[in-house]
Structure 1
Amino acid sequence: MPCQHDQSLALLQFKKTFSIRSNASPWDFPYPKPYPKTGSWKEDTDCCWWDGVTCDIETGPITFQGSRLSSLVYLDLSNNLLHGRIPSSILKLVNLSVLILSSNKLIREVSSAVCELNSLEILDLSNNSLNGFMPQCLGNFSNNLSVLHLGMNKFHGTILETFSIGSNLRYLNFNGNQLQGRIPPSISNCINLEILDLGNNNIDDTFPHFLETLSKLQILILKSNRFHGLVKGTSANYSFSKLRIFDLSNNTFSGALPAEYFNNFKAMMIFDLNMKYMGAPNYSSYDYSVSLTLKGLEIELVKIQTLLTSIDLSGNKFTGEIPQSIGKLKSLKLLNLSHNQLTGNIQPSLGNLSNLESLDLSSNLLVGRIPMQLTYLTFLEVFRISHNQLEGLYPKESSSTHLITLHMKGIWDCVDFR
């Protein structure tokens, strides 16, 4: 079925709303420099053959009304050099289900007019320089919204307090802003939430225990804020039972490590051999992403494997001994308890973590010898135990053939290790 004239006209009008810099530096692009897809958009040619355009007889025609693509449902302009404010014309595309403007150079505040797009399922404005306050209406303007990604901007003020009952949010990412205040209890209304990333802000609060009720939560990242106080879990079996990534690093949490939570991390106790990536349920091309410290490197995971399991409680003020219950988490790949005030011996039960690839216990007050059971960790690549009060040698019987990084500085009598 050939493209109709009014459809071509609508797309050509859309093309006129932006410009393409032919002299853009390759350093402006996070990926290999793209070519201008709209170069093939020309008059008197069939728009169904234009680059980036797909014609589908089932979804109906593109219509032209007042210089708007009024029937547009999916708009992805990510990884370009768009600058200035978000155009008001985009906020009039009332049929949009997906709006992705990430990784551009957009600035200024986000207009509350975005909340008039009440058909949105995905809103991703991440990796720009947007600032001001987040529009409070974003918390409850659409029960269709499953993805809200405003990370890596310059938003300030408090977190949205308007998350309503019936919310369909599955992915909420405000990482890397300048948000302050506390985590609002209304987030617990987002009963379908799978990922919550509030890392790298200025949130000043105690641990939000009300998040325990989010039975589908798989990833919780609160790192690099001003959280403080105890992290004392409950004995309820439902508490964080599906959690696979738990990152509270670089705060000032204190008291004992949350042994009750370790007992409830059921998803970290079993091996899931089905390698999948986490993404929006109705849009297979949209993958969730988070920022994590993996084996000592700060990286952004642009795709999250369901196989990845991690606990990072480093850089806090936790005291007491390492709970034996951590040894139950047999699918755990990354464990970082460094830079705390932990005492006692290294638990032999850590030898049960047969899937572990990185173990960091450095900069604590641990004593005694390194347990022989740690030699069972055959996949271990990174092992850091420096700056403690340990003694003796690393067991020569280690069966790990993957060990790349071994930090043991400050261990008494450790003189013959090779």
Structure 2
Amino acid sequence: MTFHATNNFEGPIPQVIGKFKEFRGPNAFTRSIPSFIGNLQQLESLDLSSNNLRTSEPNPNEHPTSIISDTFPEGCWLQTLSLNQNRLEGKVPKSLGNCKCLEVLDIGNNQINDSFPCHLKNIAKLHVLVLRSNKFNGHIDCPRNNNGWPMLQIFDLASNNFSDAIPATIKGNKLELVKIPVNNFEGPIPEVIGKFEALDALNFSHNAFTGSIPTTFGNLRELGSYSNNTGLCGPPLKTMCGLPPAKEDSPSDSETGSIIH
């Protein structure tokens, strides 16, 4: 059973959503996400994107610790969680790792200040991960993560504060789209990314990558995808490897909003 709130539905999120498997409420709710959300056993899809939701604070003197109640139980059935374009801050709840059926996680365009969610590394069914336009920071290399997300197709980390090198052991045979512009990634671009057979689009612009663009990238060589990395060289950039950097005139990746429709 699906509940779809319309633009005429205002106020807090009602407890009645616990009776539904799918709940969609764009442009409908204000205030904060109630604590009972994580305890809803039947809920499989929750889409609260494009609202004015904020993180609930325990009291005015405490900074929010989690963007949504950290109460997802073992055996959680949640498959889709979309909270894109709200005013959420805090951290990605640790208990979300209990949702082994999760396929879509879209928490882009918020104010989330956290590290890369390595605690979700065992969710093997994850297809879509959107963290864009937040305040995520640090490296994206998860220790003891041998399998990665084998089903991942969309990987969007654009416009955050991620840094360090992309691990050369990165896996993604099903990846179709990789967007990581406007961060602080550095070091060489791993050649293995160009060998991902399903990869159709990428954007590495506005970082601090160095070295030559791998020849394995084949047709994935649009100029704007690599611009504003002063240490990068080789086609399609104007800078040839071994020569001083040339000036690039390409726009940044400034798109906003959810890539899940």
Structure 2 length as normaliser, TM-score? 0.82
Map Cα deviations across residues 156-179 of structure 1 (whole Å, 9 max, x no partner).
013221211111111110000000
Unaligned runs of 5+ in 1: 1-96, 269-308, 371-382, 393-408, 412-418
CA deviation after TM superposition for structure 1 residue 236, in Å: 3.8
Partner of 1:390: 239
2:192 counterpart (282, 305, 325)? 325
Measured in 1, the distance between the counterparts of 2:123 and 2:80 equals 13
Partner of 1:53: none
Partner of 1:339: 206
Map Cα deviations across residues 328-359 of structure 1 (whole Å, 9 max, x no partner).
212111110000011111111212xx6x4966
Partner of 1:316: 183
Aligned-partner SS, 1:132: coil
The one-letter code of the counterpart of 1:100 is H
1:9-408 → structure 2 map (5 Å cutoff) = 97-102=1-6, 104-111=7-14, 113-114=15-16, 117-128=17-28, 130-141=29-40, 143-157=41-55, 158-234=67-143, 236-261=145-170, 264-268=171-175, 309-351=176-218, 356=220, 360-370=225-235, 385=237, 390-391=239-240
Distance of aligned partners of 1:390 and 1:139 in 2 relative to their CA distance in 1, 3 Å threshold: same
Whose relative contact order is higher, 1 or 2, with alpha carbons under 8 Å and at least 6 apart?
2
Measured in 2, the distance between the counterparts of 1:235 and 1:327 equals 24
Measured in 2, the distance between the counterparts of 1:173 and 1:189 equals 17
CA deviation after TM superposition for structure 1 residue 239, in Å: 1.2
Measured in 2, the distance between the counterparts of 1:172 and 1:368 equals 39
Q: Is the 8 A contact 1:233 1:259 kept in 2?
A: no
Measured in 1, the distance between the counterparts of 2:147 and 2:42 equals 26
Measured in 1, the distance between the counterparts of 2:179 and 2:233 equals 23
Runs of 4+, deviation exceeding 6 Å = none
Cα RMSD (Å): 2.1
Q: Is the 8 A contact 1:235 1:260 kept in 2?
A: no
Measured in 2, the distance between the counterparts of 1:197 and 1:173 equals 5
Q: Is the 8 A contact 1:148 1:173 kept in 2?
A: yes
User: Are residue 410 (structure 1) and residue 247 (structure 2) matched?
Assistant: yes
Structure 1 length as normaliser, TM-score? 0.52
Measured in 1, the distance between the counterparts of 2:131 and 2:92 equals 10
Q: Is the 8 A contact 2:209 2:230 kept in 1?
A: yes
Measured in 2, the distance between the counterparts of 1:105 and 1:320 equals 50
Q: Is the 8 A contact 1:320 1:344 kept in 2?
A: yes
Partner of 1:291: none
Map Cα deviations across residues 38-73 of structure 1 (whole Å, 9 max, x no partner).
xxxxxxxxxxxxxxxxxxxxxxxxxxxxxxxxxxxx
Partner of 1:18: none
CA deviation after TM superposition for structure 1 residue 325, in Å: 1.4
Aligned-partner SS, 1:260: coil
Map Cα deviations across residues 247-299 of structure 1 (whole Å, 9 max, x no partner).
111000010023333xx21323xxxxxxxxxxxxxxxxxxxxxxxxxxxxxxx
The one-letter code of the counterpart of 1:108 is G
CA deviation after TM superposition for structure 1 residue 235, in Å: 6.0
The one-letter code of the counterpart of 2:217 is L
Measured in 2, the distance between the counterparts of 1:367 and 1:178 equals 35
Measured in 2, the distance between the counterparts of 1:98 and 1:369 equals 51
Aligned-partner SS, 2:192: helix
Unaligned runs of 5+ in 2: 56-66, 249-261
Measured in 1, the distance between the counterparts of 2:221 and 2:85 equals 27
Measured in 1, the distance between the counterparts of 2:145 and 2:215 equals 26
The one-letter code of the counterpart of 1:265 is G
Measured in 1, the distance between the counterparts of 2:127 and 2:115 equals 20
The one-letter code of the counterpart of 1:252 is N
The one-letter code of the counterpart of 1:107 is E
Q: Is the 8 A contact 2:210 2:233 kept in 1?
A: no
Q: Is the 8 A contact 1:334 1:358 kept in 2?
A: no
Measured in 2, the distance between the counterparts of 1:206 and 1:216 equals 21
Aligned-partner SS, 2:9: strand
Measured in 2, the distance between the counterparts of 1:211 and 1:327 equals 25
Partner of 1:298: none
